[in-house]
């Protein structure tokens, strides 16, 4: 049941009034007619009950507004659809960008992870500076594209192991969906390593696999 009192002070005075009413009714019943005491007590209880009912009606909250009735400022406050994007060279592919643009109506917030593309020998030698610079360049270009198209996006360069990169990103970004972009089968190390299947097995959110054919995109541009 909803509490009709707006503060502890209101509750205190209501209790005090009830105590005084009880004392008056008892005094009248003791000194005069017991029936008169009952009448006074009953009238007082009835008046108090009516006051509480009116107070409860007056303090009813406004009904919640539905999403259908919200305006532009309401949408700004609504939680966006958070998409974790993981890709390396395929960040530059048209297929990935078209896929991301299909989520515009969901007010997407993108977190882009560009893993370092380094050979095993370079990783063992801890000599990945050039590969890291290349990943940062792809990331910066992707974030610039997102800003140009009105998408909220930020990102980072990730671990060379894409599954580890996803796990690292999810520690600071609570994603509603993960998008993994790879080269076509036969030309993708991630496909051979079953990266998409491994990510799906680790997560309980949707994982979308986008195949990016940079050779076809380049031929189309020419």
Report the range out of 59-68, 147-156, 209-218 with the highest average pLDDT: 147-156
Mean pLDDT lowest for which of 35-39, 185-189, 211-215? Answer: 35-39
Q: State residue 40's pLDDT score.
A: 56
The CATH number given to whatever domain includes residue 101 is 3.40.50.620
Q: State residue 49's pLDDT score.
A: 58
pLDDT category of residue 130 using cuts at 50, 70 and 90 = confident
pTM, full prediction: 0.61
Mapping DSSP onto H, E and C, the string for the chain reads: CCCCCCCHHHHHHHHHHHHHHHHHHHHHHHHCCHHHHHHHHHHHHHHHHHHHHHHHHHCCCCCCCCHHHCCHHHHHHCCCEEEEEECCHHHHCHHHHHHHHCCHHHCEEEEEEEECCCCHHHHHHCCCHHHHHHHHHHHHHHHHHHHHCCCEEEEEEECCCHHHHHHHHHCCCCCCEEEEEECCCCCCHHHHCCHHHHHHHHCCCCEEEEECCHHHHHHHHC
* Domain identity same for 54 and 73: no
Containing structural domain, residue 28:
8-58
Residue 64 counted as domain residue: no
* Domain identity same for 84 and 51: no
Q: Residue 180: is its pLDDT beyond 60? A: yes
Per the DSSP assignment, residues forming a β-bridge with 114 are 157
Q: Residue 50: is its pLDDT beyond 50? A: yes
Residue 209 counted as domain residue: yes
* Domain identity same for 194 and 90: yes
Q: How far is CA 88 from CA 85, 117, 134, 136, in A?
A: 10, 7, 10, 10
* Domain identity same for 211 and 158: yes
* Domain identity same for 54 and 118: no
> For the segment 7-42, what is each residue's pLDDT rounded down to a tens digit?
445 555 555 565 665 665 565 556 666 565 555 555
How much of the chain, in percent, has pLDDT values that exceed 70? 57
Residue 3 counted as domain residue: no
Q: State residue 156's pLDDT score.
A: 95
* Domain identity same for 146 and 214: yes
> How many distinct structural domains can be found in the chain?
2
Residue 193 counted as domain residue: yes
**Interval 33-60 mean pLDDT:** 54
**Interval 133-141 mean pLDDT:** 93
* Domain identity same for 33 and 119: no
* Domain identity same for 53 and 139: no
Q: State residue 183's pLDDT score.
A: 96
The rounded mean pLDDT for the chain is 75
Indicate if the alpha-carbon torsion angle 100, 101, 107, 113 is positive or negative: positive
* Domain identity same for 97 and 201: yes
Q: How far is CA 168 from CA 117, 171, 182, in A?
A: 17, 6, 19
**Interval 147-164 mean pLDDT:** 94
* Domain identity same for 214 and 189: yes
């Amino acid at each position: 049941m909803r509490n009709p009192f707006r503060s502890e002070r209101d509750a205190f005075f209501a209790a005090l009034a009830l105590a005084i009413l009880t004392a008056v009714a008892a005094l009248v019943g003791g000194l005069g007619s017991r029936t008169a005491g009952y009448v006074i007590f009953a009238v007082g209880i009835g008046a108090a009950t009516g006051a509480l009912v009116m107070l409860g009606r007056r303090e009813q909250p406004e009904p919640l507004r539905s999403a259908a009735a919200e305006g532009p400022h309401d949408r700004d406050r609504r939680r966006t659809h958070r998409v974790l994007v993981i890709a390396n060279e395929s960040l530059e592919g048209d297929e990935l960008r078209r896929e991301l643009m299909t989520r515009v109506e969901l007010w997407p917030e993108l977190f882009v992870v560009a893993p370092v593309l380094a050979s095993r020998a370079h990783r063992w030698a801890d000599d990945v500076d050039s590969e890291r610079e290349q990943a940062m360049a792809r990331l910066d270009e992707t974030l610039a594209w997102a800003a140009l198209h009105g998408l909220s996006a930020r990102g980072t360069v990730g671990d060379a192991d894409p599954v580890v990169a996803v796990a690292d990103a999810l520690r600071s970004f609570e994603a509603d969906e993960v998008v993994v972009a790879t080269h076509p089968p036969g030309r993708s190390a991630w496909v051979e390593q079953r990266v998409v299947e491994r990510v799906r097995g680790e997560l309980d959110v949707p994982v979308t696999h986008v195949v990016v054919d940079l050779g076809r995109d380049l031929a189309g541009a020419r």
